[in-house]
Amino acid sequence: MKRLIVIFTALFCLLIPATAFAYNPLSGACSAGDGEQSASTGCGASSSDPITGKDGILEKAAAIIAGIAGIAAIIIIIVAGIMFTTSGGSSQKVEQARSAIIGSVVGLIIITLASTIVAFVAGKV
């Protein structure tokens, strides 16, 4: 039962950014009435910003941090898998390995969500 709750919660959290991208509150404000694009900063005129723009410093730093954390989580999963196979039937070692795997999978989900949130916020700023 707990596994189902965790799985559904993770799927729900992964689908939240998709619904946030579905609606653009500035779509009506950016047209000038005669079909031309407005030159307002909220309408995408400042997309070449080196800090928050596409491929800006903020997104690059978030990608590097997420990559390092993701690699660390994968290494923890591998080490926990080795601990699990070499436990020799010890319930304490099996429980430690299982908790390490669960923790690293939750960490991967948090890393993915954080990277998505940073990309979303940087794209809207």
- Reported as a single tens digit per residue, the pLDDT across 32-79 is 555 555 555 555 554 566 666 667 787 788 888 888 999 999 999 999
The CA distance from 91 to 85, in Å, is 12
Cβ atoms of residues 103 and 37 within 8 Å? no
The CA distance from 10 to 7, in Å, is 5
37 strand-pairing partners: 31
State pTM to two decimals.
0.56
- Reported as a single tens digit per residue, the pLDDT across 99-112 is 999 999 999 999 98
Cβ atoms of residues 73 and 104 within 8 Å? yes
Q: What are phi and psi of 48, to 5 degrees?
A: -95, 20
Would you list the domain boundaries of the chain? 49-125
